[in-house]
Amino acid sequence: MSTCKANFIFPVLFVVFGAALGFLGNADTFRRKVSVELNPGLKPPLALPPEVGLVHVRGLGLNDTLHFLLCNYGAPALLLVHTNSTESEVQVDWPAFLNRSLPGRLRVEPQSSVKYSSALVFTRVWEYDDVNNTADPQQTAESAFYPPYELQNFIWSRLNATFNQSDHTVTLCGGEKTESFLNGTLCLQFSAFESEDRDKPWPSLLHNANSSQLRVWLDGVTPRGNDSRFALEFQTVGESGFEGRVDVHSSIDDEYTPSIFKVSQWVSFPVNQSGVWGYNQWKPVAYRKAEPVFEDATPCKHSRLVSVNQIPQSRLVQAYFTNDSQIHGLNISFGIDKDPIFYSATKYVSWTVLVGMGEPPAESFSTLIIIIMAVGLGTPLVIIIVGGVFVWVRKRMSHSSVYEPIN
């Protein structure tokens, strides 16, 4: 009977530790060689207005290239282009791009190597007086909204000063000269990655070599209402033949983003085909301080995807996409109903989104959780085994003690 128990236990143990090793073995080793350049191919006497720029990040794989283009000429936008060639190049028709953007002024050549492209554009910052404390723009009367801040009209700091070649980050800060925004800035920090890792600052999203990250923060804006809350509107522009949807996934592990058990992802997939080709992924949390502690986290909510029929006012997007592109928009609103803390308390809110191609990174169980699980599941098993062995040994000994006297 005890051997029967052992025969049962060992496969169970094998499965438990095998699964744990399987999770651990999931580590992604894919790497890209990342390089950054400003205004590719732009030569004097042509010049961009001093505060705008086009940042090109090339992520070179073994037999593919992932191009990221970040531009603040008009509304700030990030364009992602994936090619199946290691030799693909960004080509900008600068005289035309500077004059007026029309499709074809910016291309990735050879065009036959382009497998997927998609852009994310930050269009507006909405502010509303949340007198009913719902933290929900959709439940708020239109009269409670202030005129939105149109990001296409923002004046930006010089790109040059904020360009970090060594850690592949670019920080853009801008604002407008209205009274309420006089002391305010909206900043976007773009990061590209060579391999899988996560940022130290919360929400510590898991990224990989096929993703980039944008951290957005709104600092020092004078609220126009006593109970002002903000929402950020962004749009994505993609090729025709693709559809989008926003999924929300739950997790049991909040080790990297304390108290947040959800991840939202706006995925893009081809019509009539399975598989996700691109994504924007975020955790539904914003932070009220630049260096947040637990109390400074505030939930955020996304609105429904809406179809937009006008291409956003971004030079980059207008120069790349043709008329038949697909445009959708979404609002991220910061705060939760009955939350007594409004924007005025810290005059700061930050939110982070990952932008990438392929399947979005999925959190697997961390080593700590695996150890906890292994101890939690393993200890009773060890007790059962030890108990089983003990019973078996006792039986053998009692058997031998039965036979011994005969000798």
Ligand X SMILES: *[C@@H]1O[C@H](CO)[C@@H](O)[C@H](O)[C@H]1NC(C)=O
Between residues 210 and 350, which has the closer beta carbon with respect to ligand X?
210
Q: Least distance from C-beta 174 to ligand X, angstroms?
A: 16
Written as six digits, the tokens of 19 are 């699964």
- Within positions 169 to 188, which residues make up the interface with ligand X, using CB under 6 A? 179, 182-183
Q: Which residue is nearest to ligand X (CB)?
A: 329
Task: Pick from 25, 45, 95, 340 the residue near ligand X by CB under 6 A.
Answer: 95
Task: Pick from 144, 260, 276, 377 the residue near ligand X by CB under 6 A.
Answer: 144
Residue 306 in contact with ligand X, rule: CB under 6 A? yes
Residue 157 in contact with ligand X, rule: CB under 6 A? no
Residue 30 in contact with ligand X, rule: CB under 6 A? yes
- Within positions 240 to 299, which residues make up the interface with ligand X, using CB under 6 A? 241, 271-272
Written as six digits, the tokens of 149 are 């801040």
Q: Least distance from C-beta 202 to ligand X, angstroms?
A: 18
Q: Three-state secondary structure along 307-341?
A: ECCCCCCEHHHHHHCCCCCEEEEEEEEECCCCCCC
Q: Least distance from C-beta 145 to ligand X, angstroms?
A: 6
* Cα–Cα distance measured from residue 345 to residue 129, given in angstroms and rounded to the nearest whole number: 14
Residue 230 in contact with ligand X, rule: CB under 6 A? no
- The two most distant CA atoms of the chain are separated, in Å, by 110
Residue 133 in contact with ligand X, rule: CB under 6 A? no
Span from 3-11, 57-65, 288-296, 390-398 in contact with ligand X (CB under 6 A): 57-65
Task: Pick from 59, 74, 76, 137 the residue near ligand X by CB under 6 A.
Answer: 137
User: Cβ distance 35 to 55 under 8 Å?
Assistant: no
* Residue 101 CB burial class (10 angstroms; 0-12, 13-18, ≥19): buried
* Cα–Cα distance measured from residue 140 to residue 143, given in angstroms and rounded to the nearest whole number: 8
* Cα–Cα distance measured from residue 73 to residue 48, given in angstroms and rounded to the nearest whole number: 9
Task: Pick from 99, 111, 153, 195 the residue near ligand X by CB under 6 A.
Answer: 99
Residue 190 in contact with ligand X, rule: CB under 6 A? no
Long-range Cβ contact pairs of 257-266 (< 8 A, separation 24 or more): 257/202, 257/203, 257/204, 257/205, 257/283, 257/285, 258/202, 258/294, 258/297, 259/294, 259/297, 260/203, 260/284, 260/285, 260/297, 263/363, 264/302, 265/360, 266/236, 266/305, 266/330
Applying CB under 6 A, the residues found at the interface with ligand X are 28, 30, 50, 61-64, 84-85, 95, 99-100, 103, 112-113, 126, 131-132, 137, 140-141, 144-145, 160, 164, 166-167, 179, 182-183, 208, 210, 222, 226, 231, 233, 241, 271-272, 303, 306, 322-323, 329-331, 358-359
